[in-house]
Amino acid sequence: MTATQLERARAGEITPAMERVAERENRDPVFVREQVANGRAIIPNNHQHDALDPMIIGREFATKINANIGASETTSDADEELEKLHTAIQYGADTVMDLSTGGDLESIRRTHIEHSPVPIGTVPIYEAANRVPAPPDLTTEDLLDVIDTQARQGVDYMTIHAGIRRDHLPLTDGRTTGIVSRGGSILAQWMEAHEAENPLYAHIESVLAILREHDVAISLGDGLRPGSLADAGDEAQLAELRTLGELTEIARDHGVQVMVEGPGHVPLDQIAPHVEEQREICDGAPFYLLGPIVTDIAPGYDHITSAIGATEAARAGAAMLCYVTPKEHLGLPDEEDVREGLAAYKIAAHAADVASDQPGARDWDDALSAARYEFDWGRQFDLALDPKRARAYHDETLPDEQQTDARYCSMCGADFCAMRIDQDARGDGLDALETGRPLANSAAAAVNVPPTGTHDTAGLPEVPEILCEHGVESVVAEDD
Ligand code: SF4
């Protein structure tokens, strides 16, 4: 049986995946190995996922973002699912979770894994629940069988809600929004019906044996995460977090890579203390947060309410952020919602990386600022987080081709363009300006340059026209 990245790191080996991650993050491979060996970072990398371009999740590395996709009972077309995968990666997702609950689940997942250069995550209890008439009909064998099937297919990480225990359920009685995690609510119903402990907790060793065999990372789910500010930081959430700390140690002892999931809805001032608390309780395991949403008053804008929380969480040390779209709490996101959500989260992750001085992160900002001051509109668009939108907004009011050479835009107009006036006043014009700031050796280029996220687009066949419009190589090549 091939050892996991964790076991190999502990044995002192620098694996090809670690070498690749070091190259992409502009880090020493020895440092990468140490971070994996001590559990501070993970490289989700199922032995069966041949299309994967390895990436790393840990607080010492660039903040990553995840996008959720998946078929439902009403939308379950395989081509549509492949399109969603491409959209997610095009707009910068570092990992993608297939949360399908309808259609041919195995076939859809196989398609995702075959085509995805980014790690694929799943929540196996969704498929298990799909197999039975009602949650209480689930058996431990069902759960283990689904986990085994998905691990054999090549899933790189799985959310396992093993931390929600029978003793925790009464702690949710006074909540404003009860249990809002799908996995958490299914398991709570099961425990109440059977008057028994959570089977994922009771049989965690069997779960870990499967995950270890295929090097699937465990993402310890927070089934009791708060669904409102009113419930943030309550005893139910903290009791589960303490169990997640216990499970972190058990998983590591079994050679399984671990990250821990977090909330949800948290007031802004409580986010950094909560990230710190997780780090202490879970011994520095990478923290993967959904948002968090910092105010409950803005349905329709929760990509913004949560990106504020996500920025604070990442600045405080969260390693990965699960994006939220404007449709959160309201409906199934469409492609435009995915684009809005991912843009909001790329901004959150990058802003935090700049603030925490990740190697090369600021280079992207500096290159774009230089292009802006030089009135190099083409380069400004190319470097923009969303080149299509930047170009479209500019061309809305100055559409002529010649206007792309203009030393102004329509915001202040030709006579009042402050940057043009400033350059003229300095007297040396554009000639004295620094041009072409290099990005090729920067982690910003390898990790963040838009719109393809952290991954090599060559691994994405089938819909090349989407991915080649603003490929990483074309942006980097200008600086060589
Ligand atoms: S016109 Fe105003 S907004 Fe436009 S480039 Fe000049 S200073 Fe910037």
pLDDT at 454 over 50: no
193 lines ligand 1 (CB under 6 A): no
The two three-digit tokens of residue 376, written as one number: 């190099």
- Mean pLDDT on 204-216: 98
Distance 412 CA to ligand 1 centre (A): 5
Q: Which residues contact 102 (CB under 8 A, 6 or more apart)?
A: 71, 72, 73, 74, 75, 76, 130
In the three-class reduction of DSSP (H, G, I as helix; E, B as strand; rest coil), residue 272 is classed as: helix
Transcribe 406-470 into DSSP letters.
-S--TTT-TTT-HHHHHHHHHSSGGGGS------TTSHIIIII-TTSTTS-GGG--S-HHHHHTT
375 within ligand 1 shell (Cβ under 6 A): no
Contact yes or no for 4/257 (Cβ under 8 A) = yes
C-alpha–C-alpha distance, residues 284 and 277, integer Å: 10
Q: 366 CA distance to ligand 1 centroid (A)?
A: 17
Query: Tell me: the pLDDT tens digits for 405-442?
Result: 788 898 998 899 999 999 888 875 454 444 444 554 44
> Looking at residue 402, what is its pLDDT?
63
Q: Can you name the CATH fold of 5-356? A: TIM Barrel (3.20.20)
Rounded mean pLDDT of the chain? 87
Mean pLDDT over 52-79 rounds to: 86
Give the tokens for residue 239. Answer: 């009791």
Query: Which residues, at least 6 apart from 232, have a Cβ–Cβ distance to it below 8 Å?
Result: 226, 263, 264, 265, 266, 267, 270
Task: Provide the pLDDT confidence category of residue 444 given band limits of 50, 70 and 90.
Answer: very low
Q: Which tens digits make up the pLDDT trace of 220-249?
A: 999 999 999 999 999 999 999 999 999 999
Write the residue with the smallest CA distance to atom 3 of ligand 1.
411
Q: What is the pLDDT of residue 227?
A: 96
Best residue among 373, 377, 397, 417 to mutate for probing ligand 1's pocket (most ligand atoms within 8 Å of CB) is: 417
Ligand 1, atom 6, lies closest to the CA of 417
- Say yes or no to pLDDT of 449 above 70: no
| Ligand 1 site, residue 406, Cβ cutoff 6 A | no
At 262 the pLDDT is 97
**Per-residue confidence at 91, pLDDT binned at 50, 70, 90?**
confident
345 is in an annotated binding site: no
Which pLDDT score, from 0 to 100, does residue 457 have? 38
Q: What is the pLDDT of residue 387?
A: 85
- Does 183 belong to an annotated binding site? yes
- How many A from CA of 435 to the centre of ligand 1? 19
Q: Are 278 and 241 in contact (CB under 8 A)?
A: yes
Query: Does residue 414's CB lie within 6 angstroms of at least one atom of ligand 1?
Result: no
Phi, psi torsion values for 122, nearest 5 degrees: -140, 170
Q: pLDDT of 19-58, one tens digit each?
A: 999 988 888 999 999 999 999 999 999 999 999 999 999 9
Ligand 1 atom closest to 416 (CA): 1
411 lines ligand 1 (CB under 6 A): yes
d(CA 221, CA 122): 11
Look-up of token digits 């090809």: 16
Distance, CA 413 to ligand 1 centroid (Å)? 7
Helices (H), 282-429: 302-316, 335-355, 361-373, 377-383, 387-397, 418-426
Residues 316-366: tens digit of each pLDDT: 999 999 999 999 999 888 888 988 999 999 999 999 999 998 887 888 888
Res. 477: pLDDT tops 50: no
The confidence band for 75, taking pLDDT boundaries of 50, 70 and 90, is low
* Ligand 1 atom showing the smallest separation from residue 413 Cα: 1
pLDDT at 461: 34
Ligand 1 within 6 A of CB of 390: no
Binding residue per annotation — 288?
yes
Residue of higher predicted confidence among 247 and 450 = 247
For 232-245, the DSSP string reads TT-HHHHHHHHHHH
Q: Which tens digits make up the pLDDT trace of 155-189?
A: 999 999 999 999 999 999 999 999 999 999 999 99
> Residue ranges of the alpha helices (H) in 38-91?
78-90
Q: Residue 22 carries which DSSP code?
A: H
Q: Does position 465 have pLDDT exceeding 90, yes or no?
A: no
Q: Is the pLDDT of residue 126 over 50?
A: yes
Ligand 1 centre from 394 Cα, in Å? 11
Domain with CATH 3.20.20.540 in the chain: 5-356
Q: What is the pLDDT of residue 201?
A: 98
pLDDT digits (tens, 9 = 90+) for 375-386: 999 888 888 888
Whole-number pLDDT of residue 82: 81
Q: Quote the CA–CA distance of 18 and 424 in Å, as a whole number.
A: 50
* Residue 267 scores a pLDDT above 90: yes
What was the pLDDT predicted at 84?
A: 82
Position with higher pLDDT, 36 vs 108: 36
Does ligand 1 lie within 6 Å of residue 412's CB atom? yes
- Tell whether the torsion through CA atoms of 286, 287, 291 and 295 is positive or negative: negative
182 known member of a binding site: yes
